[in-house]
Each structure stands twice: as structure tokens, then as C-alpha cells.
Amino acid sequence: MSKTDYYDVLGVARDASEADIKKAYRKIAMKNHPDRNPDNKAAEDKFKEANEAFEVLSDSDKRARYDQYGHAGVEGQTSHGYADFSDIFGDIFGDIFGGGRGARSHVRKGADLRYNLDLNLEDAVKGKTVKIRIPTTVSCETCDGSGAKPGTSAVDCSTCNGHGQVRMQQGFFSVQQTCPRCQGAGKQIKDPCNTCHGRGSVDETKTLSVKVPAGIDTGDRIRLTGEGQAGVHGGPPGDLYVEAIVQPHEIFQRDGRDLHCEIPISFADAAMGGELEVPTLDGRVKLKIPAETQTGKLFRLRNKGVTPIRGGNPGDLLCRVVIETPVNLTKRQKEILEEFKAINEEEGIRQLPRRTSWFDGVKKFVDGLRA
């Protein structure tokens, strides 16, 4: 293809080392590769020219003939830009295709696992040590995780010769793919272990103690290093992530470091005031209800919430009072309420400010519609 001096094509001296030639070719090939220069005929020609030059100068016999006789010495011995570089392909085109030549590591870390841990609110707030049972895989003791029968070892894959990659020709360049036989490991087990049947690991259910820190909340994770799946062919095990799921509570609702609850109170306590016992996660405390308390009123009990998992001051307990309408009234209770209603009508509406304000608003609205 090219009649330009091959050394000039690659921009190297005539006494350049094999490493220098390879480095120069890599630079030109990366810059002018057709995948990076679609529909660029000039770049494609430079790429093919560099291929031809490298094919000659990287081969000691061809280079010697070229140095002595020039292009005539290698006439008919080049692929004219469609070179097949079996030994250097992965190194040259690794950056283009997302990885270099060679097998994936035969020894690999095991997969990480996740375990959902259900907790009640009290245990999440105060912390606790719990035991969990998880199905997992552990390294086979018989073969020490290698997958091969004791006294034997894995051999190079017969398809990829231990490289973990096979080449496929696509047009004028070759493409590396993971070996379909060994899945990139580069090794094959000819005589598998009788215990794990070549897996290098066995299934097992194990019991672990998990220390749940105080203040943990839904979505927080506890990492147990090395308690995941066993590694592949003797590799290190993965990790276990225990994810907390705090179950709903019958009294409290959590909002970060604060707790919320609703407290039903009677009409009489709301009107005249009183003192109530309120539950907290630390026991009962007394809450003073002032006279004329309206439904929905919030009372804050400071430092009765949750201490955050990462430290800091505890939150508060926010108590919302709800006035409860009595049911199943006795005859006497009805008589008293009828008497109260009558007195209320005689005294006027000044004792019900919210009711008065609401009815005033309704009247203005209706009058506006009629106007």
C-alpha cells in the first residue's frame, strides 16, 4: 500500500527499539482509528498505512529484509492495512474497546449480600444486638476454594490458551471478546472437587450477631465485612449489608429525631384543663393541659425523641391533643348536655370564638352570592 518509508510513517528512528515502535504505532492508531473518525477517508488511510508499517517493523525478519532491500524486500508479505496482530492487539486497542488483552483474574472477590432487618421502634431508638440467619455460600474446605480436586489444579483453557479472550475478525481489524468456554477466567478445571463440583464454594446457612446501633432508621445499613458470598476460586468473600426497616408503631410516628403522637382528651379536660399521663419511650410523664385547650393543639416534650445515630442532641416528642366526642351517653349525661346547651344559648356565643368567626364568614359568602 504505502511507498513512504515505514520509519517515517511511524515517526521513529531507524534504530528504534521494539517498544518505541509499538508506542508510536499505538499513538497513530488511537488517533486515526475509523471508530473515532467515521467517514474520514484521510484518517482511515493513515490508519491502514500505520498498520502496514507496524506489521513490518514489529517483525524482526520482515524488518531486517526491509532495512536491506526496502519495500521490495517485503513485497507481498503485508496485509496492506488489514493486519492481524495476535500478540499486541489487546495492548494497542485496549482503550478503544474498553479493556486490554489478557484473561480476567481467575481469582475474584465474592458477591455482596443484602439482608432486610425488621426492627420495632424501641429497638431502633435504643439499639440492640440481634441474631440473624442467612443463606450464603462459603469457600469449599475440601479444595480450599480452588474448585479443583485436591492434588490437582486448573489448566489453561484450550480455546483461548489461558488469555481469557478470543479474537474475531471484523472487516479490516480484529475484535477481542471474552472466551465463551472459560468465561474469561483463562483456566479450566479438568478434575473438579467432589465436594463443590468445581464451584469452589458450597451453600450454607449461618447465624450472625448484628449490633444494631441506637438511633438507626429505615434505610440505614450495617456493613459486615467478609460475610457475603464466597470468593471465586479462592478469592476473598464479599460483604453483607444489613438494611434496617423500622416497623410502624401503634402510638408514635418518627420524623428524623422527633417523635409524634396523638392524645385523645375529653371535652371536660379540654374546657377546664387538667393533667394527663403521656407515654414516652423512657416511661410515662405528666402533661399539664391548660383550660380552654382547642383540638389540634401541639405540646412539645423536649429531649423525649430520638438521639441520632451519628450523635447530637435528642429530638422532641410532639403531642397533638384531639378532643374526643363521647359515645353511648347515659340519660343523665344527655340531660346535663341539654342543660349546658341551653345555658350556652342564653349566655350568647362569646364562648365559641371559632364557631362565631366561621358563621360570620359563611354569612358574608352567601350574601356575596346573592348580590
Which residue from 212, 134, 148, 135 is spatially nearest to 185, judged by alpha carbons?
Answer: 148
pLDDT digits (tens, 9 = 90+) for 227-261: 888 777 667 888 999 999 999 999 999 999 999 99
DSSP 228: S
Mean pLDDT of the chain: 82
Percent of the chain with pLDDT over 70: 85
Instruction: Give the chain's end-to-end CA distance (angstroms, integer).
Output: 97
pLDDT band with cut points at 50, 70 and 90 for residue 107: low
Q: Domain-by-domain residue ranges, the chain?
A: 6-97, 104-150+196-247, 155-188, 253-323, 331-370
pLDDT at 255: 93
In sequence order, the 6+-apart residues with CB closer than 8 A to the CB of 235 are 105, 107, 108, 109, 110, 145
Q: Is the pLDDT confidence value at 86 over 70?
A: no
Beta bridge partners of 289: 274
Between CA 245 and CA 221 the distance in angstroms is 10
Beta bridge partners of 298: 320
CB 154 within 8 A of CB 188: yes
CATH architecture of 253-323: Sandwich (2.60)
pLDDT digits (tens, 9 = 90+) for 38-67: 778 888 888 888 888 888 888 888 888 888
Q: Is the pLDDT confidence value at 91 over 50?
A: no
Sign for the CA dihedral angle at 349, 351, 354, 355 comes to: negative
CATH superfamily for 6-97 is DnaJ domain (1.10.287.110)
pLDDT digits (tens, 9 = 90+) for 284-332: 999 999 998 999 999 999 999 999 988 889 999 999 999 998 889 999 9
pLDDT at 265: 92
**What is the average pLDDT across 345-350?**
65
In sequence order, the 6+-apart residues with CB closer than 8 A to the CB of 159 are 166, 179, 180, 181, 182
In sequence order, the 6+-apart residues with CB closer than 8 A to the CB of 174 are 84, 85, 89, 167, 168
> Do 6-97 and 253-323 come out as alike in CATH topology?
no
pLDDT band with cut points at 50, 70 and 90 for residue 31: confident
CATH number of 104-150+196-247: 2.60.260.20
pLDDT at 38: 74
pTM greater than 0.85: no
Q: Where are the alpha helices (DSSP H) in the chain?
A: 6-10, 18-32, 41-57, 60-69, 89-97, 121-126, 267-272, 331-347, 353-370
Q: Is the pLDDT confidence value at 264 over 60?
A: yes
pLDDT at 224: 92
Q: Is the pLDDT confidence value at 76 over 50?
A: yes
Cβ neighbour number for residue 205 with a 10 Å cutoff: 8
Q: Is the pLDDT confidence value at 1 over 50?
A: no
pLDDT at 93: 44
Between CA 6 and CA 214 the distance in angstroms is 72
Q: Is the pLDDT confidence value at 80 over 60?
A: no
In sequence order, the 6+-apart residues with CB closer than 8 A to the CB of 109 are 231, 232, 235, 236, 237, 238
**Cα→Cα distances 102→182, 323, 337, Å:** 13, 75, 91
pLDDT at 349: 55
Cβ neighbour number for residue 48 with a 10 Å cutoff: 21
pLDDT digits (tens, 9 = 90+) for 267-278: 889 989 989 899
Q: E-strand spans in the chain?
A: 113-119, 128-139, 155-156, 165-170, 173-178, 187-188, 201-212, 221-224, 240-246, 253-255, 258-265, 274-280, 283-289, 298-301, 317-323
Between CA 114 and CA 120 the distance in angstroms is 19
> 191 φ, ψ to 5°?
-125, 90
pLDDT band with cut points at 50, 70 and 90 for residue 207: very high
pLDDT at 100: 41
